């Protein structure tokens, strides 16, 4: 469960950083076109990997339900982060990466 929330947080954080205003709030500068495009592509790849993980672990029926629920929680966490501490988005995304790495090593 924590792994899926971490993947979702990373994916939705990347989607948020692909937007001009959220990137500027987080890093105090404008993103280049290449940065926005690569953040967007990486976000879709992470989201697709999370979806595939849910489907392979739980099957198609329960995997879809679990994926939808976990992504809703992850999106809400990104919304709260951007609302209250936009500059903390990048460090929190890094910590979600560490959680993902720890789960990968454990399995």
The predicted model gives 1-23 an average pLDDT of: 91
pLDDT-derived band at 50 (thresholds 50, 70, 90) equals very high
Total-model pTM: 0.89
Q: How far apart are CA 56 and CA 59, in angstroms?
A: 6
Residue 107 pLDDT greater than 80, yes or no: no
So what's the pLDDT on residue 96? 87
Q: What is the mean pLDDT of the chain?
A: 92
The predicted model gives 22-30 an average pLDDT of: 90
Q: How far apart are CA 72 and CA 50, in angstroms?
A: 13
The predicted model gives 24-30 an average pLDDT of: 90
Q: How far apart are CA 2 and CA 52, in angstroms?
A: 16
* DSSP H/E element including 42: helix 33-84
Enumerate residues 6+ apart whose C-beta is below 8 A from 97: 6, 10
């Amino acid at each position: 469960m924590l792994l899926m929330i971490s993947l979702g947080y990373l994916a939705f954080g990347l989607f948020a950083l692909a937007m001009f205003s959220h990137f500027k709030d987080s890093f105090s500068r404008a993103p280049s076109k290449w940065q926005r495009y690569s953040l967007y592509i990486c976000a879709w790849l992470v989201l697709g990997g999370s979806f595939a993980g849910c489907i392979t672990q739980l099957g198609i029926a329960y995997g879809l339900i679990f994926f939808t629920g976990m992504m809703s929680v992850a999106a809400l966490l990104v919304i709260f982060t951007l609302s209250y501490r936009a500059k903390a988005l990048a460090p929190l995304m890094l910590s979600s990466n560490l959680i993902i790495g720890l789960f990968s090593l454990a399995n």
